[in-house]
Amino acid sequence: MTNFPGIAAQDLRMPHAEKNMTVGLFGGSFNPPHRGHALVSEIAMRQLRLQQLWWIVTPGNPLKNGGDLAPLGHRLDACKAMASDPRIRVTAFEARHHIRYTADTLALVQARNPGVRFVWIMGADNLKNFHLWQRWRQIAETMPIAVIDRPGSTLSFLSSIMAKTYDFARVDEEDAALLARKDAPAWTFIHGPRSSLSSTAIRRREAGLEEAK
């Protein structure tokens, strides 16, 4: 862990969870974290009745340009400042294990935590291109998935390749609290308050402000 200067050792460890706990996994660049991330987390914790929610701050997203990616330590600090709910655990364990793909993250988490009920959390804006993720079918068949509504993405739960492929495994939203107890593949789409904030828009706005100066 000495290869990550400026990052506390505890931030590179996988959070602890007891057997039979219900835990959500919410991965992303968080570049930067914003109120939209917090809102997705609030909805997920309430609707899925999570006892913990891990914000997994990735070293980088293979599907995104990493040129404007803030240092991992900066993003971790920003996430800690944003995540006010004590059930949220901010972690960068993927960096320690040199993980780049979600499929590998889920496999590691399950191997290290037998008996814990995990749910993968993602915003609906990711559902449209979910089939482009590395080993996306493996992800869908590893643990249940909760898709949280995002602006402009509500219809993706009907039209996306993932939704069509796993239509047989969709759980009614009213049964979302049972999702963590189901065997994969199992997924649900959760409606709720939506935030129009995005990390990309925030970075562009900040860049514009800097240019104006």
pLDDT at residue 16 tops 70:
yes
Instruction: Express the helix, strand and coil content of the chain in percent, nearest 5 each.
Output: 45, 15, 40
**CA–CA dist 98, 93 (Å, integer):** 9
What structural domains does the chain harbor?
A: 21-212 (3.40.50.620)
Higher per-residue confidence, 2 vs 174: 174
Please give the average per-residue pLDDT across 95-114, as a whole number: 96
User: pLDDT above 70 covers what percent of the chain?
Assistant: 82
pLDDT at residue 138 tops 80:
yes
Residue 19: name the closest of 59, 64, 51, 62 by CA.
Answer: 51
Please give the average per-residue pLDDT across 162-172, as a whole number: 96
211 band by pLDDT with thresholds 50, 70 and 90: very low
Please give the average per-residue pLDDT across 32-58, as a whole number: 94
Please give the average per-residue pLDDT across 195-200, as a whole number: 46
What six digits make up the tokens of 73?
Answer: 């330590």
pLDDT value, residue 159: 85
Write out pLDDT tens, residues 21-37: 999 999 999 999 998 89
**CA–CA dist 57, 19 (Å, integer):** 24
| Reported pTM | 0.87
pLDDT value, residue 67: 66
Using an 8 Å Cβ cutoff, are 128 and 153 in contact? yes
SS3 annotation, 129-174: CHHHCCCHHHHHCCCCEEEECCCCCCCHHHHCHHHHHCHHHECCHH
210 band by pLDDT with thresholds 50, 70 and 90: very low
Cα 47–Cα 48–Cα 50 angle in degrees, nearest 5: 120
Residue 175: name the closest of 165, 163, 190, 196 by CA.
Answer: 190
Please give the average per-residue pLDDT across 155-174, as a whole number: 89
124 band by pLDDT with thresholds 50, 70 and 90: confident
CA 98 vs. chain centroid, Å, equals 18
What six digits make up the tokens of 25?
Answer: 């996994």
